Structure 1
Amino acid sequence: MASSSFQFLSLSALVMVATLCGVSADCVTSIPSLVSKCSQYVKIPGPEVQPSMDCCDVVKSLDVPCICKFVTPELQKLISMEKVVFVGRSCGLTVPPGMKCGSYVVPPLA
């Protein structure tokens, strides 16, 4: 039940952000797919876990700089931005140090 609640809250938050902020279709190809395939890898509690191929397939279709413009403090309460960067990089995306996503600034590579 907790997982379902998290997915519902994440989906609601992403849909709200996309709707209210006017995120274009170019930013997010499929919000429901993003939530269903990737939410377990970016939720706040728990360790960093390698994302699935299904999650990576969705992540690779994102326009990360575009999406980052619309990350709100409310969304940052639901997802770990550190895990978001981990997932992006694990899926082969270039997530440069110093890039700002909401109020989060991507740290230098370790």
Structure 2
Amino acid sequence: MIYNDGFLKVTAIQTLHTDRSYAFFLEAEGKSVLFTGDLKHPDEDFPLIAKEHKTDFIVCESAHFNATDYLPHLREYKTKLIFVLNLLRGFSIRTVTIDRITMRLCSR
């Protein structure tokens, strides 16, 4: 844990992307959010804290691989909403929301 003021608790989880890359797990008022930050690849270092704790919302960064690479991991999680930010060629940004019920990708 890197911060706790009695209202907001923030936990930093080191990832394998670089030596100083972290995911952040935020908790407040009985709700929680996981921001993955840059990952080396979901197969290698997707933060397990979302599997260990009920997570209301996951925001996944996906600049170096496809958003669909997350699906095998996310099927096991009890998460209400998952949002994947995917950076494509030319620095255009595509967002993908994963429907929790069917686990299908919905591009926007």
Same-fold status (TM-score > 0.5): no
TM range (shorter): 0.3 to 0.5
Compare CA radii of gyration and give the structure with the larger one. 2
Q: Point out the structure with the larger strand share.
A: 2
TM-score (norm 1): 0.38
